Amino acid sequence: MKPHKIWIDEIHGGSRYGLKGTILIKKRSPFQEITIMETENHGNALMLDGCWMTSDKEEKYYHECLVHPALSSLKTASRVLIIGGGDGGTARECLKYSDISLIDLVEIDKEVIELAKKYLKELGQNAWEDKRLKINICNGLKWVSNTQNNYYDVVFIDCSDPSEISNEIYSLKFYEECKRITKKEGIVATQSESPESFPAIHIEIIKSFKQIFKISSTMYSFVPFYPSGIWSWTFGSEDSTQFLNPQYKHIDSIENSCDIWNLNYQKGAFQMMPNKILNKLKKI
């Protein structure tokens, strides 16, 4: 018998985005409700607590834009921290850089990783078998507070939308901690939500980064899968010499490996702040 196809929707402020398919797994971990669906047209898709997180078809829009602006702009990077990122997509993109010797992936919910390994193979691909990737099941705040100064080249904050389990990550104090554990010439990179669906949080993140880092910048691009389709990533650094300028020696091969990102795309994306957000920031 054919499995029964249903719609699952993410509902957000009077709008909903739904995918059709069959549920592969739906379970409650100690932290959240995890649903993975085999969809008609988007491959396998992951939902956490009612919010679509990623899908085979669209994940590159998100992961390429989080990783490559930071890593392509460092001549070399050895140690990387990923806070969240349990689906494996961010780690996969990081592993394209040959100088990387350690990726600490710090995920609070081990069930996400286990289910991603099983049902979202397109996301992590071979990353899970790579010896440079170290999985740490741990609260991200705790991990960061236990890390020595200037340890990582890049810290990626790859977490879900603000909620009970992630609220503390969206704070000035946490970003300051991330800066502390990042090398002076390194970069802290975070997804910074949608200016349409979460304008207040979006602006708050930008303000915090401007306050903490000598230089910071926000890029806008598409995540067809998220409410409103428009998404943002914000980057901060103390060292302007390497910040968001291409430095990595094999950058051509990174470009060739990407579905969405290239250097030109990135340059454009950093100019795409909607006028209304620009005006709001001017008033602050």
Contact 53, 252 (CB under 8 A): no
Cα end-to-end distance, the chain, whole Å? 60
How many of the chain's residues bind a second copy (CB under 8 A)? 48
Q: Binding to a second copy by residue 17, rule CB under 8 A?
A: yes
196 C-beta neighbours (distance < 10 Å), count? 18
Residue 220: enclosing H or E segment and its boundaries? strand 215-222
Q: Find the shortest distance in angstroms from Cβ 231 to a second copy.
A: 9
- Per-residue x/- track, 91-120, a second copy (CB under 8 A): ------------------------------
Residue among 151 and 222 whose Cβ is closer to a second copy: 222
Residues 169 and 159: their CA atoms lie apart, in Å, by 8
Q: Find the shortest distance in angstroms from Cβ 86 to a second copy.
A: 24
Tokens (6 digits) for 193: 């939500």
Q: Find the shortest distance in angstroms from Cβ 54 to a second copy.
A: 14
Tokens (6 digits) for 69: 């602006």
Q: Tell me the CA distances in angstroms from 273 to 143, 202, 216, 262, 280, one per residue in order.
A: 33, 12, 14, 19, 11
Burial class (CB in 10 A: 0-12, 13-18, 19+), 215: middle
Whether 259 is catalytic: no
Q: Binding to a second copy by residue 70, rule CB under 8 A?
A: no
Which of helix, strand or coil describes residue 246?
A: coil
Residue among 21 and 236 whose Cβ is closer to a second copy: 21
Q: Which of 87, 109, 158, 161 is catalytic?
A: 158
Select the residue interacting with a second copy from 73, 218, 221, 237 (CB under 8 A): 221
Residues 113 and 234: their CA atoms lie apart, in Å, by 25
Residues 158 and 140: their CA atoms lie apart, in Å, by 11
Q: Which residue type, as a one-letter code, is found at position 172?
A: L
Phi, psi of 232 (to 5 degrees): -140, 160
Q: Which stretch binds a second copy (CB under 8 A): 33-41, 97-105, 152-160, 204-212?
A: 33-41
- Per-residue x/- track, 162-201, a second copy (CB under 8 A): ----------------------------------xx----
Binders of a second copy in range 265-284 (CB under 8 A): 265, 267-276, 278
Q: Binding to a second copy by residue 139, rule CB under 8 A?
A: no
Q: Find the shortest distance in angstroms from Cβ 268 to a second copy.
A: 3
Q: Which residues are catalytic?
A: 158
**Which residues of the shown chain bind a second copy in the complex (CB under 8 A)?**
7, 9, 13-21, 39-42, 58, 61, 196-197, 220-224, 226-230, 255, 258-262, 264-265, 267-276, 278
